[in-house]
Chain A
C-alpha cells in the first residue's frame, strides 16, 4: 500500500530478549519519527530522522534503545534486553515536511514483554 507500514504488528517476547521493529515510510518522505504509546497514554517521542541530518535521539529512554534509518528510507528500532516497562505500542510516522505537519502514522507495533 501507499501508507506507512510497520512490522511486526504484534510482538510478544520474554524479558531480557532483544527485539527489532521495522518501519517503511511513505516513499519520498524525508522526515521519520518513532513514538511510544503506553496503554491509555499520549505519545512519547523517541527519535526523529530528517534527511541526512544527524537524528534527534533526545527521546530515547535508555541506552537499550537505538534506531537506524538506512538509505533515508526504512528504519529499524531496536530494544535490547527488553524489560516489562517497554511494553507499549511503538508508532512510526513519516512526513514530506520539516515542520511537523502532515505526519502519516503507521498502525503501530504492539510489544508485550512477559
Chain B
C-alpha cells in the first residue's frame, strides 16, 4: 500500500488566490513527521513545512500552512496568496518512528501552475 498519496497530479490556481494541495498518509506508528517540499523546474528540492504527529497545532510558515487532520490521516498544504514563483512540483513526505536510521517516504507529487 502507498504510504503517501497525492491524488492531484496537476493543479491550477489564479495568482493571489489560495490553493490546497492534498496529501493522505498511511502508518500504524504513533510517532511520525509530515513534510512538504517544493521542486521548481531547476530541480532542487526546497523544504517548506513540517508537522509532527504529536503537535497540537497546525504548522504555519509564512504563506504556507499545513491542514493536519490526524483522524483522517491527511496533511494538506495550503498556500495563501499564490505567486507566479509558486509554480513548481510539490511533494508530501513522511518519516515514521524514532531512531537514528530513518528515512523519508515521498508521494508522487502535484504540479502546481499559478496563472497570471
Residues of A bordering B, CB below 8 Å = 33, 35, 41-45, 48, 50-51, 53-56, 58-59, 89, 91, 93, 98-108
Structural contact, A45 and B43, CB atoms closer than 8 A: no
- Residue of A51, A59, A93 near B100 (CB, 8 A) is A51
B45 touches A103 (CB 8 A): yes
Judged by a CB distance under 8 angstroms, whether B35 is at the interface is yes
Task: Please determine whether B91 and A42 come into contact, CB atoms closer than 8 angstroms.
Answer: yes
Q: Which of B22-75 contact A (CB under 8 A)?
A: 33, 35, 37, 42-47, 50
Question: Chain B's nearest CB lies how many Å from the CB of A70?
Answer: 19
From known contacts A43-B91, A108-B43, infer whether A98 and B102 are also in contact, taking CB-CB under 8 Å: yes
Please list the residues of chain B having a beta carbon within 8 angstroms of any beta carbon in chain A: 4, 6, 33, 35, 37, 42-47, 50, 91, 93, 95, 100-109
6 A-B pairs with C-beta separation under 8 A: A41-B109, A42-B108, A43-B106, A59-B103, A98-B102, A101-B50
- Name the residue of chain B whose CB is nearest to the CB of A41: B108
Q: Which residues of the other chain, B, contact A51 by a CB distance below 8 angstroms? A: 100
Interface centre among B35, B37, B44, B95 (most CB of A within 10 A): B44
Number of A-B contacts (CB under 8 A): 70
For residue B18, give the distance in angstroms from its CB to the closest CB of chain A: 24
Query: In the complex, which of the residues B33, B44, B103 contacts A106, with contact meaning CB atoms closer than 8 Å?
Result: B44
A41, A100, A104: which contacts B102 (Cβ < 8 A)? A100
The answer to whether B47 and A55 have CB atoms under 8 Å apart is no
What is the distance, in angstroms, from B71's C-beta to the closest C-beta of chain A? Answer: 23
Contact B45 A91 (CB under 8 A): yes
The answer to whether A105 and B33 touch (CB under 8 A), given A42-B106, A48-B101, is no
What is the chain A residue whose CB lies nearest that of B105?
Answer: A45
A48:B33 contact, CB within 8 angstroms:
no
Closest to B104 in A: A100
Q: Which residues from chain B contact A102 at a C-beta distance below 8 Å?
A: 47
In whole angstroms, how far apart are the Cα atoms of A80 and B103 in the complex?
24
Nearest CB to that of A110 among chain B residues?
Answer: B43
